[in-house]
Structure 1
Amino acid sequence: MTIYLDSAATAPMRKEAIDAYVEAANNAFGNTQSLHDAGSLAADYLASCKKLWGQFLNVRQDGIYFTGNASEANQLAIRSLLKGRPEHCRSIVSTQLEHASVLSVFHELEQEGYDITYVPVDEFGRIDLDAYEQLVNAQTALVVMQLVNSEMGAVQPVEQCAKIAQQFGVPLHSDIVQGFGKLPVDIGSWGVASAVCSAHKIGGPKGVGIAYLDPAIHWESVYEGTTHQGGFRAGTIDVPGIVSASIAAKHAVMEQPANYEHARKLQDYLIEHLPEGIIATGDIKSKSPFIHGLVLPHVEGQWMMLACNRAQIAISTGTACKIGYGEAMSAMLAMGTESDAAKKFVRVSFHKETTNDEIDHFIQLVGQSLSEFFPHS
């Protein structure tokens, strides 16, 4: 049986979420845009889910939208907010630790004349708040600040960043995919203009992204003529998927304090037993205990990932949304890691069922590879 240490890529689906999907698929199969009873029933299910997500995030439910995934939600939210900003605001402030879906839209926006400024981060991946404060001004169109980095788990001060941006009337978008259901999240009190979650990171189905856009902030549709979801996203809404995602989120939020404590203990165990020479990235005191970036002293991350796979242990070399080292390399270089060392990066990530025994198997395999590589050490 596979030891699964890659929950940051996707988490196992919860039984409650699977059951909810089946029930909703049987009962709420109508199109929410249809005016007959089947359509009305599906629309009722959708309204209930929006209400739940409003409660989870402490925001207005009329600002909740559903997409095909969090990558799409990031891109739609960023572009929707930018279309609503004054024409003279052409500067975006962010970090190089963002998810691939955000970095790719930045690349497109640069071609369209936007200026992307990246806030420097320290060796633990935490932003320089003083530098950030200097970069945000009345010409800033948007701030994009991920809550939890998906490579090594660095947590950014999103609430402080949002409050600084608000002084200039600048909206802040936050990808909270690796934070929601794992850390305490309160988008409403933080003053975040938009945020994005992902169902499959918390035991829900793949193919459901959740976006929040503050209804008090002006935004415009990315695609002209879109009628679904107030113009935010085109296409028939996947009601069973959204119901399943909402039930998974309900359980994740209820279990969040206990799961955090479990992950913190696993983190302590991992760090205490790591073989000598392996560097754990990130600041243990402030990072998410669910995600661990490790730099190996001897082999490239891809080699170790394949060795683990042969032993039925699932780890990764970083985010699954970019082939190879992409995002992990970008994050490591931003933190001042040399490129050769960054290639030796692997990531392990936990979920609520992860055990010390599973971590032991991983540590033993890494230790064995080290002893083969350094036989006299």
Structure 2
Amino acid sequence: MIYLDSAATSPMRKEALDAYIEAATTAFGNTQSLHDAGSTAADYVASCRQMWGRFFNGRAEGVYFTANASEGNQLTIRSLLRGRPPELKDIVTTKLEHASVLTTMHELEKEGYRIHYIPVDSYGVLDMLAFEHTVSHGTALVVMQLVNSEMGAIQPVAACAEYAKLVGVPIHCDVVQALGKIPLDVTELGVTSAVCSAHKIGGPKGVGIVYIDPSVHWESVYEGTTHQHGFRAGTVDVPAIVAATIAAKYALADQPQAFQQALRLQALVSELLPEGVQMVGSNSSKSPFIQGLIMPHVEGQWMMLECNRQQIAISTGTACKIGYGEAMSAMSAMDYESDVARKFVRISFNHQTTCGEVEAFLKVIEQSLIQNKLKATQ
């Protein structure tokens, strides 16, 4: 099968698989146990924290591990809010955020928070002037993704973080679609916290990685929890954390070459795009690893199934919310009508995606559209 759905998940790297097996064999102890087996496991996790600190260009003591990035987003947002003055009830975000963030926003709204959604332009990039008018000393938290998971729009996070810092507001950033794809440095971005996911970069599923600036005050969501300084309850999965760390090491090493290949693939899509198919967003302000396409006269779901029949894996949007309209919600924020949004499909690349695979996909799209049009006229 030709796999063009890496924004949903990616195959595990061999190095990560090997690391998982080794860690499962040699570091099977509980990190909370005081005997040697526990100490060995704890040493593995401590080493992984050191490495993630370097990956983020942050500090090791700010690194935490969760079951996934969705949980990481939810825990980080709530932990930061619990550390803020209780009278601050305003949160600033966008409607392009991942489902895990949008769901948390809906929950917090029911709990008395006021959620302010900053408008975005037709390319999916937020209105900076509106952002500055909305964020103030009375804002509790800013929540903003770096790379949109539907069409790849890159937000001006560094500029937003700089402004938020002027008024003393922490900013949380979802960097799931950025790690291993574009340069990532939490110090340069100026964010308070960041969350990423192992399985997007060739690591195992079931591992989210959180970074919170150690100088920033936060409070645990779980009363009495001792694991990971109270950030998350439960025994950590040492082999999975080790495998995630090794996957990140190789993904970051491959990142410059992978980015150049993704640019070539993006250019190929632009050049060979069948007549009537529209690319969403601007190539100059998006990640080349994610391409949102609008079909001219068929629904995205139909095209996804047709591609699957031809052994090509694509998607109609973020896998975390298939069937719940996350892509439609994002496109609505970009002023696309609902009937147009239903014609949306997404292809996404990893470091192994080839030009031949993308060409095969475009041929299937072209042939399928021609055949569908012919049937409609019969």
Alpha-carbon distance between aligned partners in 1 of 2:123 and 2:18, rounded to the nearest angstrom: 40
231-240 or 348-357, larger mean C-alpha shift: 348-357
Alpha-carbon distance between aligned partners in 1 of 2:83 and 2:373, rounded to the nearest angstrom: 58
1:291-343 CA distances to partner (integer Å, 9 max, x unpaired)? Answer: 00001111111111111111110000000001225210111000010000001
In structure 2, the residue matched to 1:91 is 90
In structure 1, the residue matched to 2:157 is 158
| Aligned partner of residue 321 in structure 1, secondary structure | helix
| Aligned partner of residue 214 in structure 2, secondary structure | coil
Work out whether residues 84 and 140 of structure 2, in 8 Å CA contact, stay in contact via their aligned partners in 1: yes
Aligned 1:163-242 pairs, distance under 5 A: 163-242=162-241
1:345 Cα deviation from its structure 2 partner: 0.4
In structure 2, the residue matched to 1:275 is 274
1:271 Cα deviation from its structure 2 partner: 1.1
1:373 Cα deviation from its structure 2 partner: 2.9
Work out whether residues 7 and 349 of structure 2, in 8 Å CA contact, stay in contact via their aligned partners in 1: yes
In structure 2, the residue matched to 1:258 is 257
Alpha-carbon distance between aligned partners in 1 of 2:67 and 2:111, rounded to the nearest angstrom: 25
Poorly superposed stretches of 4+, deviation over 6 Å: none
1:17-70 CA distances to partner (integer Å, 9 max, x unpaired)? Answer: 000000000000000000000000001000000000000001111010000000
| Aligned partner of residue 306 in structure 2, secondary structure | helix
1:82-132 CA distances to partner (integer Å, 9 max, x unpaired)? Answer: 000011110000000000000000010000010000111000000111110
In structure 2, the residue matched to 1:61 is 60
How many residues were matched structurally? 375
| Aligned partner of residue 23 in structure 2, secondary structure | helix
1:115-156 CA distances to partner (integer Å, 9 max, x unpaired)? Answer: 000111000000111110111001100000100000000000
What's the TM-score, normalizing by structure 1? 0.98
| Aligned partner of residue 155 in structure 1, secondary structure | coil
In structure 1, the residue matched to 2:117 is 118
Gaps of 5+ in 2: none
Gaps of 5+ in 1: none
Alpha-carbon distance between aligned partners in 2 of 1:188 and 1:32, rounded to the nearest angstrom: 29
Give the aligned residue type for 1:167.
Answer: L
Give the aligned residue type for 1:196.
Answer: V
What's the TM-score, normalizing by structure 2? 0.98
Work out whether residues 317 and 325 of structure 1, in 8 Å CA contact, stay in contact via their aligned partners in 2: no
1:171-205 CA distances to partner (integer Å, 9 max, x unpaired)? Answer: 00000000011100110232211100100000000
In structure 2, the residue matched to 1:6 is 5
189-198 or 109-118, larger mean C-alpha shift: 189-198
Alpha-carbon distance between aligned partners in 2 of 1:129 and 1:201, rounded to the nearest angstrom: 29
Aligned 1:285-364 pairs, distance under 5 A: 285-324=284-323, 326-364=325-363
The RMSD of aligned alpha carbons is 0.8
Work out whether residues 279 and 296 of structure 1, in 8 Å CA contact, stay in contact via their aligned partners in 2: yes
1:374 Cα deviation from its structure 2 partner: 2.8
Work out whether residues 254 and 351 of structure 2, in 8 Å CA contact, stay in contact via their aligned partners in 1: no
